[in-house]
Structure 1
Amino acid sequence: MKIGFFYPTYYPVTASASVHGYYLAKGLAKRGHILLSCTGDKNPDCIQYPQTKQGMLRLIFDADVLYVRLMNYFERVALWRLPRLFSLPVIWEINAPLEEQYAVSATALENEAKMKRHNQQRYFNAKFVDAAVCVSKANAVYAADFLRIKNTYVVPNASDPDLFGSGNGPDRYKRKSSDEFIVLWAGNPQLAWQAMGLMFDTAKRIAELDAQIRFVFISAQDTDVFPKQDNVEVISAVGYNDMPRYILSADVCLALYNNYTWCPYGFYHSPLKLFDYMAAGKAVIASGLGQISEVISHGRNGFLTDNRVDDVVRLIMECKRNPQRCVQIGSAAREEALRYYNWDRVAAEVEDVLKRTKKVA
């Protein structure tokens, strides 16, 4: 199948924002599909068309289907089917509702008006979309109930168990002492949904209880927001392919999020960090929100928390007191990544959606 592939910066893989597109393109090409692009992505797995109106038209008439990650500047790609008189099916990949783009701004009133206009535009463009691939059930509700896309499919995110396998960590991050216990978090602290306050308060409380426990924060952005205390270390600018050496060195990993009270669809993310931790075979302490509570079975392949400092502290201390259980839970998590939460599965499920949509169209 010839797939018109419209994805924001994803090649080469750098940070989390590029991971999904990179692995999906790789997986679809591996399954024998031909990817067509006119975005200048430089992916060798894609046939590149000129970034001109003529190049776009050539792609439209060569493609069997268009696969578009829903982003501002790609929304109108759905209208490109018009020259083919609707014979070209369009699939949107939805990772977040529009509210996410406006969640972190201080100009709430101005953004409310902008968001209303933008939502109207997105709703109109969705009329030209045949199906939506959604990374979570919450996004599928957004696609079906608000955008009125009839065919919605939930395809959760994943990780690369080979990249995060134990064999890829010979040069692991060094502990300060052999009895040190490392609690790790990786992400962008500037995003409003990251539960940074919860983690900072937890680190402060732990410092009073156990000097052997160290918090390692791998930050994609400004490191000045982190507390300056002896049990906290901040590491910046780590490329995605270098992440395994840090995650494999941890004893426990954190996937903590604030509740999405600002979004009518609730917690809609399918957190890549969660699946990377699982693929690395690490015990995860995660917020019991949305898809996370579907992926993690408390006490079997991870731990769920109600986001109280006391609860997170208790779970960390329990993991340190019982390292063997920690290892067992991490092993169960990796088994889940090998069985289902991997990018080969994502490519297979997206391929199924592509085939169904092309057949219907």
Structure 2
Amino acid sequence: MKIGYMYKMHAYPPKGGNHVHAMELVQGFLKAGHQVRVLDDPTMPGVTSFSGSSTGDLQAFVDDIDVLYIRIDARYLGQWPEVGRCMEMAGSRPVVWEINSPANETLAFSWLGGRQLNVPESWLKGLKRWFHASRKMPGIKKEESLRRNLAKRVDSAICVSTALKGYAVETLGIADTTVLPNGGPLISEEEIAERRQKRVSDHFTVFYSGSAIYPWQGLDFLSAAIRLAEDRAPDIRFLLAVNQYSDSLPSGKNVEVVQGLNREQILDAICSADACVALHPEYFWSPYRFHGSPMKLFEYMACGTAVVTSDRGQMAELIEHGSNGLLCSDSPDDILAQLMTLRDDPELRRRLGFAGWQMIQKGRSWSDNVNTTLDVFTRQLEAKE
């Protein structure tokens, strides 16, 4: 099978979750014996990359594929005209959308950017947020209209959460949908043990991986819990791995911030930690409230490390409190309490870490995602025959 995958980024080496997603799928397709064609990504190993700079390039790309697979996220298709053109050129070839977000995710910067948990904002700041969000609404409306129009040509959608399945069906009108959360790497117990040998501290260590500038990463929740820990649990060490520094990053004797770790270093740090956190705020402006599939959660579990995560959305669907992880509210007291529970109960954190690892091993790995995605492609190709 020749798969045409459009994702509009240079994804290798991966620098974020969206890069990892594209890389894992592409490499999985190749490993399964298929060929992959991409647009404008000369960085991806093993693929044939077309420039996409002209109509002829796009036509050559489409002519060389059997199925067209397109990543849909918060970036506007209105600013990516190649999608509509390739879909039109595709003819009878199956078109599958990989839906990662509705257009209204862009409002996260308006409503969450620069916020600090439990720090009241002035009415003027609130007015500025409202004005910033209001200015984006016409663009969001226009973008969703474009998506609905293009979706008429979509044969199937792969949605990373149940919330996004609702978006695909109810808003975009795509009836054939599959829910497929992000995955985690398959890491053996032996490899985890080897990576844990690189641990550098005897202190109970809590690890966070993510951005210091994107407001949906929940860093303000963790920062508030870290401040509480200075008095209540000064023996807990917090290790924060970020792509860039920011004024919002917490500081103190119990905090270490590292920047720009590569993928292998991130996996080493996860394996060496005692607990990992994946905290995500509610999108109160959205009818879906929370639609994401936090990749860090799957990577934490793949490394056999106990997780503490927000009790909402996909996290609450996958994590059973006390069975394969711990759920928490947005309260700093609750977040710290869950971490202290893990600190004080080594057997619990071992059991939770192992249960999370088993979840990845038994159906939540990138290999499983690749197989499910290929099944969708095959089914659509057979339907076209």
Q: TM-score, normalised by structure 1?
A: 0.93
Residue aligned with 1:153, SS:
strand
Deviation of 1:68 (Å): 0.8
Conserved? CA contact 2:196–2:271, under 8 Å: no
Number of the residue aligned with 2:97: 92
One-letter code aligned to 2:140: M
Is 1:315 the equivalent of 2:326?
no
Conserved? CA contact 1:15–1:240, under 8 Å: no
Instruction: Quote the Cα distance in structure 1 between the aligned partners of 2:41 and 2:66.
Output: 20
Give RMSD over aligned pairs. Answer: 1.9
Number of the residue aligned with 2:119: none
Aligned counterpart for 1:237 among listed residues 243, 260, 264: 260
One-letter code aligned to 1:55: D
Unpaired stretches in structure 1, ≥5 consecutive residues: none
Instruction: Quote the Cα distance in structure 2 between the aligned partners of 1:335 and 1:29.
Output: 26
**Taking structure 1 as reference, are residues 339 and 204 closer, same or farther at Cα in structure 2, changes over 3 Å only?**
same
Kindly provide the CA deviation profile for residues 214-237 of structure 1, in whole angstroms up to 9, marking residues without a partner as x: 111111232331223211221111
Residue aligned with 1:4, SS:
strand
**Taking structure 1 as reference, are residues 341 and 194 closer, same or farther at Cα in structure 2, changes over 3 Å only?**
same
Residue aligned with 1:286, SS:
strand
Unpaired stretches in structure 2, ≥5 consecutive residues: 111-128
Conserved? CA contact 1:79–1:125, under 8 Å: no
Aligned counterpart for 1:82 among listed residues 84, 88, 98: 88
Is 1:213 the equivalent of 2:214?
no
Number of the residue aligned with 1:68: 70
Matches within 5 A, 1:1-361: 1-8=1-8, 9-51=10-52, 52-70=54-72, 71-72=75-76, 73-74=79-80, 76-83=82-89, 86-105=91-110, 106=129, 107-162=132-187, 165-169=191-195, 172-175=198-201, 178=202, 180-361=203-384
Residue aligned with 1:301, SS:
coil
Conserved? CA contact 2:226–2:250, under 8 Å: no
Residue aligned with 1:291, SS:
helix
One-letter code aligned to 2:108: A
Instruction: Quote the Cα distance in structure 2 between the aligned partners of 1:168 and 1:132.
Output: 39
Percent identity (aligned) = 31
Kindly provide the CA deviation profile for residues 105-161 of structure 1, in whole angstroms up to 9, marking residues without a partner as x: 352121111111122122212122111111111111111110111211111101113
Residue aligned with 2:97, SS:
strand
Number of aligned residue pairs: 357
Deviation of 1:78 (Å): 4.2
Deviation of 1:50 (Å): 4.3
Residue aligned with 1:246, SS:
helix
Instruction: Quote the Cα distance in structure 2 between the aligned partners of 1:50 and 1:211.
Output: 54
Deviation of 1:173 (Å): 4.4
Bigger mean CA offset, 11-20 vs 157-166: 157-166
Residue aligned with 2:169, SS:
helix
**Taking structure 1 as reference, are residues 327 and 170 closer, same or farther at Cα in structure 2, changes over 3 Å only?**
closer
Instruction: Quote the Cα distance in structure 2 between the aligned partners of 1:163 and 1:117.
Output: 47
Deviation of 1:206 (Å): 1.5
Conserved? CA contact 1:136–1:269, under 8 Å: yes
**Taking structure 1 as reference, are residues 74 and 345 closer, same or farther at Cα in structure 2, changes over 3 Å only?**
farther
Residue aligned with 2:272, SS:
coil
Bigger mean CA offset, 307-316 vs 164-173: 164-173
One-letter code aligned to 1:54: G
Instruction: Quote the Cα distance in structure 1 between the aligned partners of 2:86 and 2:251.
Output: 52
Deviation of 1:269 (Å): 0.8
